[in-house]
Amino acid sequence: MYLFNGVPLCPGAARRLEELAGTLTKPEEAKMSDQQLLAHAEVLAELEPLRMRTNGRPQLVPLRKRGGQSKTAASAGPEMVMKVTVTCPMISGTARCPVFDEFNDAAFSHLPAVPDAPIHLDDHQRPLAVETPTAT
């Protein structure tokens, strides 16, 4: 998952974000011309379907390691981390992804395709948001 302007984006946006890495600035800081502002707006519109919707604000929760409980003695208290639940763009209906069987379904043909979906990864290596409808 990637953050862009404070918004989580689909892992499929990685290459596009790398291409844009040095070119994007805040419009008010760059003193952009009208044409530059339009180009900036087009980039934002291109990335919008890849936005991963959240269930609200991040929450402070105890860190739970995968694999069950630890057999070692418990420390003074659990480590606290910030977590937020995100939803895959395919599940939220904003983009279509080849990871899902419905990618070629006519009902989803009007949606933009995820440019670099993690289809080359094994199922256990894919981001959790791709394996299940919602992930933390």
- Per-residue pLDDT in tens (0 to 9) along the chain, 136 residues: 788 878 888 888 888 888 887 777 666 666 778 888 888 888 888 889 998 888 788 889 888 776 666 666 656 677 888 888 888 888 888 999 888 888 888 888 899 888 888 777 776 666 565 555 545 4
Q: What span, in angstroms and rounded, lies between the C-alpha atoms of 11 and 7?
A: 12
Sign of CA dihedral 11, 16, 21, 25: negative
User: What are the residue boundaries of the structural domains of the chain, listed by start?
Assistant: 2-135
3-class secondary-structure state, position 86: strand
